[in-house]
């Protein structure tokens, strides 16, 4: 089975980069099976560069089966590095210590897939979108025929809300809107049949109406498929819409964590209160309204 790091480097079309069980230890990092019921368990993850620059400092987090967890914090707080460490796609210049425990399927594969921020960059402009999904499906379903993989790709396109999926199979990325492109990116992640979806600012590049539609889609997919999701965003309003639990990060450390409703109603840390700025309630109702009308 191809390793996700090889796959992620091989082509920027591989938007559904996937983490497999049994990754080799890197620095002081080990990857094992987590406790029953947990899809992912991260213990004391530390990411550093050079002799003494610590970018992520001993953070621990869990995602249970079917649970949606958000990591929120301003730019530079270490959210993306954390997700990339979990996926095993950090640059080799960074040192990773700590423990990452991954749940896996019986054959030890298909555990986590990642959705990146910018769909225009994530999709290979020279690859028709249906063909990308067909190739991704075949990569993760060895022995599947071209015809069956094409059918699976069209089903995935329908699943992520692309109308007339069959005729759009041959579309180029540039022929699709930003929202459609992100739907293809999500479909590509689903082609790995993950149990855990890692989303890195998955709606940040989209306008607010499309953002609401994609958030709604992610919520439906996660619920229907019983997936766990780790959703990273700098936007607390966005995270609170799709996550049951929130982790607040700043400067590489976790400041607080709790049920979404609790964190919103009674933030324990001054930094969290700052994130809950005067615009939050207005923005929340705006996003909720957009979600309802989409
Ligand atoms: N390869 C690297 N080498 C050195 N420092 C890095 C590297 N990648 C990221 N950093 C630094 O690590 C810190 C955390 O980066 P990270 O990308 O995780 O932040 P973030 O919270 O995701 O914010 P953003 O959404 O802006 O990316 C930042 O200060 C960043 O400059």
Cα of 79 vs centre of ligand 1, distance in Å, is 8
Cα of 178 vs centre of ligand 1, distance in Å, is 25
73 lines ligand 1 (CB under 6 A): yes
Provide the domain count of the chain. Answer: 1
**Tens of pLDDT, residue by residue, the chain (294 residues):** 222 322 222 222 234 444 443 333 345 545 566 666 789 999 999 999 988 899 999 999 999 989 999 999 999 999 999 999 999 999 999 999 999 988 765 555 557 999 988 888 889 999 999 999 999 999 989 899 999 999 999 999 999 999 999 999 999 999 999 999 999 999 999 999 999 999 999 998 888 889 999 999 999 999 999 999 999 999 998 999 999 999 999 999 999 999 999 999 999 999 999 888 745 655 655 555 555 544
Take residue 22 and report the two structure tokens written for it.
């049994």
CATH number at residue 251: 3.40.50.300
**pTM for the full model?**
0.84
53 lines ligand 1 (CB under 6 A): no
76 lines ligand 1 (CB under 6 A): yes
Q: Is the ipTM of this complex over 0.85?
A: yes
Cα of 81 vs centre of ligand 1, distance in Å, is 6
State the residue range of the domain holding 260.
Answer: 4-293
């Amino acid at each position: 089975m191809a390793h996700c790091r090889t796959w992620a480097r091989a082509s920027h079309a591989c938007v559904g980069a996937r983490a497999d069980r049994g990754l080799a230890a890197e620095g002081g990092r080990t990857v094992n099976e987590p406790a029953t019921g947990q899809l992912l368990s991260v213990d004391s993850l530390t990411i550093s560069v050079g002799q003494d620059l610590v970018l992520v400092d001993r953070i621990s987090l869990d995602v249970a089966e079917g649970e949606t967890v958000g990591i929120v914090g301003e730019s530079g707080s270490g959210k993306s590095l954390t997700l990339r460490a979990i996926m095993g796609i950090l640059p080799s210049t960074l040192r990773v210590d700590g423990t990452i425990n991954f749940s896996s399927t019986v054959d030890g594969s298909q555990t986590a897939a990642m959705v990146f921020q910018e769909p225009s960059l994530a999709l290979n402009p020279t690859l028709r979108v249906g063909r990308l999904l067909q190739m991704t499906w075949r990569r993760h379903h060895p022995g599947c025929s071209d015809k069956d993989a094409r059918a699976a790709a069209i089903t995935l396109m329908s699943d992520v809300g692309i109308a007339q999926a069959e005729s759009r199979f041959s579309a180029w990325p540039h022929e699709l809107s930003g929202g459609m492109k992100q739907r293809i990116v999500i479909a590509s992640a689903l082609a790995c049949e993950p149990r855990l979806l890692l989303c890195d600012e998955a709606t940040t590049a989209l306008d607010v109406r499309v953002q609401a539609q994609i958030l709604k889609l992610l919520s439906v997919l996660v619920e229907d498929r019983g997936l766990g999701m780790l959703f990273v965003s700098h936007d607390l309003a966005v995270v609170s819409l799709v996550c049951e639990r929130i982790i607040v990060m700043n400067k590489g450390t976790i400041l607080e964590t709790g049920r979404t409703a609790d964190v919103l109603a009674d933030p324990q840390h001054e930094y969290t209160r700052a994130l809950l700025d005067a615009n939050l309630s207005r923005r929340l109702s705006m996003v909720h309204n957009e979600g309802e009308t989409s």
